[in-house]
Amino acid sequence: MDIDRPSDPQVSVVSSDGTMFHTTLKSILLSGTIKDMIEHIGEGGVENMGAIPLQNVDSKTLEIVIKWIEHHKDNIQPTSEEIKDKTADFIDPWDENFLEMDLDKLYNLITAANYLNIPQLLWLSTRKIAMLIKNRTPQEIRSLFNIEDDWTPQEIEAVQKENQWCEEK
Amino acid sequence: MAKPFNLPSELCEIIFKYINSCDLLNCCLVSRSWKMFIESTFSKQLLLTIRGDKIDLNDVFNSERHYQRFKLCQLSENRLLEILKFFSTSIMELEIEDCRIDRECDMNFDCLRELTLTDCSTTVIRLFTKANTCVNLKTLNIFQPHGRCPFRNDILTFFKSNRSLEEINLNLNESCNIFSKDISKDLKMNLKSVFLSFKSDCELQTTTLVNIENFFRSQGETIQTISLINSANLPLLHRIWNSLKVVKRLYFFSSDPFFDYDTSTLELLENNSNLLELELHALGPFTLELKDLTPFILSSNNLKALGVWTLRKDLIEFVAYNHSKLKFISCATMERDCENYYNDLKSKFGINDKLHLHQYL
C-alpha cells in the first residue's frame, strides 16, 4: 500500500469500553498491528471499512496513544531491530514531556504500545520506567513504586554481601 | 512469581534490559519479589569476581544466582580448580588473572564463549588449550606481558581444534615464541578479528615478522578486523596487505617516539572500498598532516570512521565538506578549540549532520 499518497483518509477506532476515536490513516499505520489488519483488507478497502475495534485498549489509554501517533505521523519510525541497538539516544523534548504521567497510565501505555506494536512508543515508555530506577537507592525505588520492604535484616545483609562479589571491576 | 511492575513478565523484562548491572544489583535489594525476578532473568549478566581467599566458596556454590560470567584473580590452585570444576558446565565468560597451578587437569568448558588469561602460568593456559576443551569458544584473549608465555604447541593444538574461534587478542612480551616458528602450515581457522600487541621496546626478529606475515596470509580470507600494536607494524602491513582482501577495520598504535607514518602507507590503503574504519596512532611528536591524508580520504569511498592521534581543525573541516559517509572522527588529543570549531561548523552550516567527534583520552 502506498503510505505516502497525499490524501490521508480518516479512520475510526473503538476502545475496549466502547468509545470511538477518529484519527487519520497515516497516524494509525504507525501501529504494526493495525497496519497488518489494513493490509489484509487491501487497497481501496480503507474508505469503506468500519471502525476498528481495539479490545485490549481502554479509552483513556487510546486517547494518549492517538495523541502520540498523530504527533509522530510524519516521522520515520525505527524498526524493532533498530531499537534493539539503541542506547542512550537523544529523546525529543516533546516525547519527554508527553511521558510525564502517573505510573498506572504509563503501565497501560506500555501494554497498549506492545499490543498495537508501536516499537518507538514501547521503547520510550519502558525506558521511562528504567530511567526512574537508575541511580536510586532501594528505599527510593520502594517509595516510588509503592513496594513493601519485606526483608529481615539478616536477609538483606546476605544480599548486600553477595552484591559485593559482583561490584568489583 | 510476583512481578516487579504491574505488567506482564515479558514487558517487565524489557524495562530491566535498559538497566546496567550496577543498578540491577541495587534492584535486588528492593524486595524479595524484585530479587527473585532479577535473579531468574538477569543474573547471567552479572560478573562474579573472586579475588584471593576472601569469599567462602560454599556461599558462592549455594547462591540462587545463576552466574555465567566469572573473574578469578590471585587464587590458590585448590580454590581455582574447585571453582572451575563446580561451574565448568555453566561458565560462558571467564577471566583468570595472576594464577598458577602445578597439577595438570582435564576439564571441559562446553558453554565457554569468551576466555581471558592475564599473567597466568602456562599450566593454567594448558587447562584450556587441550584439544576439544572449549569447543564453543569465540574469543580468546591472552595477556602475558610479564614473561610467562604460552607454549607454541599448546596454542597450535588449540587453534587447530577450536573451529568456532573468531577473535584472538594476544598481548605478548618479546620472549613469546608463538611466532618464532611458522605456524601457518595446515592451519585453517575462521578468524574474524586479530589483535597483536607487543611490548614497546620489543624488537621482533625478521623470522618472527615473516612468520606473522605467513600467518596472516594463510588466514586472511576471513579476517575483517586487524589491530597491530608495537609490532613494527607498517612494514608488516605492506607485505601482507594484498592477502587481506576483506579487512574492514584496521587499527595501529605505536608508542615508539621516533615512529613515523609515511605516506606510502596511506597510498597502500587508498582505493580500498572494503575499509570502513581506520585508526592510525603514534605517541611521538609526529602527526599526520591533512595533505597526507587527503588522497586517502577522497579515495576511500566507504570509510565510516577515522581515528588520528592529534585532531586538527583543518581535518574536521575537510571531512565535513568532502566526505558524506564518514560518521565518526576519533582522536586521543585535540588541537585547542577543536570541539567548539566542530560545533560551530555543525550549527552554522548543518553540514554532515551525522558526523560525530569522539575523544578517548
pLDDT band, residue B230 (cuts 50/70/90): confident
* Same-domain status, B330 and B285: yes
* DSSP structure class, residue B74: S
The whole-angstrom separation of Cα A164 and Cα A159 is: 9
* DSSP structure class, residue A1: -
* Same-domain status, B89 and B27: no
* Residue A82 dihedral angles phi and psi, to the nearest 5°: -65, -35
B29 reaches A (C-beta below 8 A): yes
> Residue B332 sits in which domain range?
248-361
Give the one of B15, B28, B47 whose C-beta lies nearest to A159's C-beta: B28
Judge whether residue A4 has pLDDT over 60.
no
Residue B343 domain flag = yes
pLDDT digits over B34-73, tens only? Answer: 999 999 999 889 999 999 988 899 999 999 898 999 999 9
Domains and CATH numbers, chain A: 10-135 (3.30.710.10)
* Same-domain status, B67 and B21: no
pLDDT digits over A73-97, tens only? Answer: 988 777 777 776 665 566 788 999 9
Window B:33-52, CB contacts with A under 8 Å: 34-35, 46-51
C-beta of residue B360 within 8 angstroms of C-beta of residue B330: yes
* Same-domain status, B55 and B158: yes
Cβ–Cβ of B60/A165 closer than 8 Å? Answer: yes
The whole-angstrom separation of Cα A159 and Cα B46 is: 14
Which secondary structure element, helix H or strand E, spans residue A82, and what is its range?
A: helix A80-84
ipTM computed for the complex: 0.89
Window A:110-169, CB contacts with B under 8 Å: 110-111, 114, 122, 126-127, 129-131, 133-138, 141-142, 145, 147-151, 155-156, 159-163, 165-169
Number of domains in chain B: 3
Window A:31-90, CB contacts with B under 8 Å: none
Grid cell listed for B136: 564453543
pLDDT band, residue B176 (cuts 50/70/90): low
The whole-angstrom separation of Cα B181 and Cα B54 is: 43
Q: What is the 3-state secondary structure (H, E, C) of B83-147?
A: HHHHHCCCCCEEEEECCCCCCCCCCCCCCCCEEEEECCCHHHHHHHHCCCCCCCCCEEEEEECCC
Q: Of the candidates B142, B165, B188, which is a domain's last residue?
A: B165
Residue B195 domain flag = no
In a mutational test of the A interface, the residue from B19, B23, B26 whose CB has the highest number of chain A CBs within 10 Å is B26
